[in-house]
Amino acid sequence: MEPIHIAIIGAGRIGRVHAENLATRIPGANLVAVSDVIMSAAVKLSKDYRVPAVYQDYRRIMEDPAIEAVVICSSTDTHAQMIEAAAAAGKHIFCEKPIALDLEQIDRALAAVERAGVRLQVGFQRRFDPSFQRARAVIAAGQIGAPHILRITSRDPQPPPLEYVRVCGGLFLDMTIHDFDMARFLMGSEVEEVYAACGVMVDPAIGEAGDVDTAVVLLRFENGALGTIDNSRRAVYGYDQRVEVFGSQGMVTVSNRAPDAAVISDAHGIHEPLPQFFFVERYADAYVAEMQAFIACIQKDTPPPVTGRDGRIPVVMGYAARLSYEEHRPVRLSEVEVNVKRKT
């Protein structure tokens, strides 16, 4: 198959991850352009990965008919408008989560994609982690019977800068959103109700910025199963990513990944490495796999494995969790949808 000519919008940390993978690890991709409002970042990325075209204005990418697809890695508040622009230009789209922080904006962007008939894949890379994929396959095959209880632990090694906290949409739409998606992915059932209990236990400044840094969320699935997600913005021992699904006939678990598997036993105890430090290291293989899947869906003209709907539902869950925290009660996702309809 002919390689897909692709461009990256946003040359920050995640943009560089995708650029390296597209330029060096994915034969089906031809990375031809990059744009960033900070021109120096775009220039550096282009030099590091030999990207021929560099722009400050992303619209230059949209105007180039030779570019078949875009990877949107810019700030969240730009995602929806760029999706609409790319769709109007007939380009396939990979967009980092979330599509937007506003559900009406998300719906407009998804409608634009539908009208244009282009592919849209949302960046939930954890679905492509081999361990989580294996867990999903075990559950789907019925090897643990009917799933009863899901437990997700997701803790960052350190909180983000306060400047980021103020614009990211809050813990639920920035961090827990990945866990909301993983809950749907693993259980194969939609969540109908959430209850969230939260606190500010890591940094008082996060609370002063209007957010929380510690949360436990209870999920009730449509199939009757229950789930819990626990989040913290700081785990001093590293990036803590664990999953357990308990069913009527057994259980499947996914543990943390360490830099090596050596365990040292001596007179003082048993010692093993700390988990990998953060998401770039932990999900390095998953980032490659998700981009391979995006390129493949374009080449084979098949639906993307993570759709716009998959990108929208965790945002609904995030709003439900925030409302639950604010009103100290369980919130059904249908409540959020009703509020969206009232606005429109």
153 plus 80 within the same structural domain: no
What's the rounded mean pLDDT across residues 15-26?
Answer: 97
Q: Is residue 50 part of a domain?
A: yes
What is the structure's pLDDT at 338? 81
Residue 341's pLDDT band (boundaries 50, 70, 90)?
A: low
How far apart CA 244 and CA 119 sit, in angstroms, is 32
Q: How do beta strands 147-155 and 191-199 pair?
A: unpaired
Query: Of 118, 145, 165, which one is at a domain's C-terminal end?
Result: 118
How far apart CA 287 and CA 302 sit, in angstroms, is 20
104 plus 136 within the same structural domain: no
For the chain, give the percent of residues with pLDDT over 90: 97
267 plus 137 within the same structural domain: yes
- Greatest Cα-to-Cα distance within the chain, rounded to the nearest angstrom: 67
Query: Of 118, 149, 183, which one is at a domain's C-terminal end?
Result: 118
317 plus 212 within the same structural domain: yes
The angle subtended at Cα 209 by Cα 204 and Cα 212, nearest 5°, is 60
Is the pLDDT reported for residue 343 higher than 90?
no
Domain containing residue 151: CATH number? 3.30.360.10
Q: Is residue 306 part of a domain?
A: no
Domain containing residue 66: CATH number? 3.40.50.720
* Domain count for the chain: 2
Domain with 27 in it: 4-118
How far apart CA 339 and CA 344 sit, in angstroms, is 9
Is the pLDDT reported for residue 342 higher than 90?
no
- Helices 333-343 and 103-116 pack at an angle, to 10 degrees, of 80
- pTM tops 0.75: yes
What is the structure's pLDDT at 344? 59
Q: Model confidence over 279-334: pLDDT tens digits?
A: 999 999 999 999 999 999 999 999 999 999 999 999 999 999 999 999 999 999 99
Q: Model confidence over 56-109: pLDDT tens digits?
A: 999 999 999 999 999 999 999 999 999 999 999 999 999 999 999 999 999 999
Is the pLDDT reported for residue 110 higher than 70?
yes
Classify burial at 330, counting beta carbons within 10 Å of its beta carbon; exposed 0-12, middle 13-18, buried 19 or more. Answer: middle
What's the rounded mean pLDDT across residues 218-229?
Answer: 98
- Give the containing element (helix H, strand E) for 148: strand 147-155
What's the rounded mean pLDDT across residues 234-262?
Answer: 96
Q: Is residue 223 part of a domain?
A: yes
What is the structure's pLDDT at 1? 80
215 plus 103 within the same structural domain: no
Residues in the chain: 344
CA 243 centroid distance within chain:
16
Q: Is residue 292 part of a domain?
A: no
Is the pLDDT reported for residue 241 higher than 90?
yes
What's the rounded mean pLDDT across residues 273-280?
Answer: 92
Q: Confirm if 74 and 58 have CB atoms less than 8 A apart.
A: yes
What Rg, from alpha-carbon coordinates, does the chain have?
20
What's the rounded mean pLDDT across residues 105-121?
Answer: 98
Is the pLDDT reported for residue 54 higher than 90?
yes
Q: Model confidence over 144-171: pLDDT tens digits?
A: 999 999 999 999 999 999 999 999 999 9
All residues at 6 or more sequence positions from 232 whose CB lies less than 8 Å from its CB, including other chains: 155, 156, 201, 202, 213, 214, 240
All residues at 6 or more sequence positions from 341 whose CB lies less than 8 Å from its CB, including other chains: none
Average pLDDT taken over every residue of the chain: 96
133 plus 242 within the same structural domain: yes
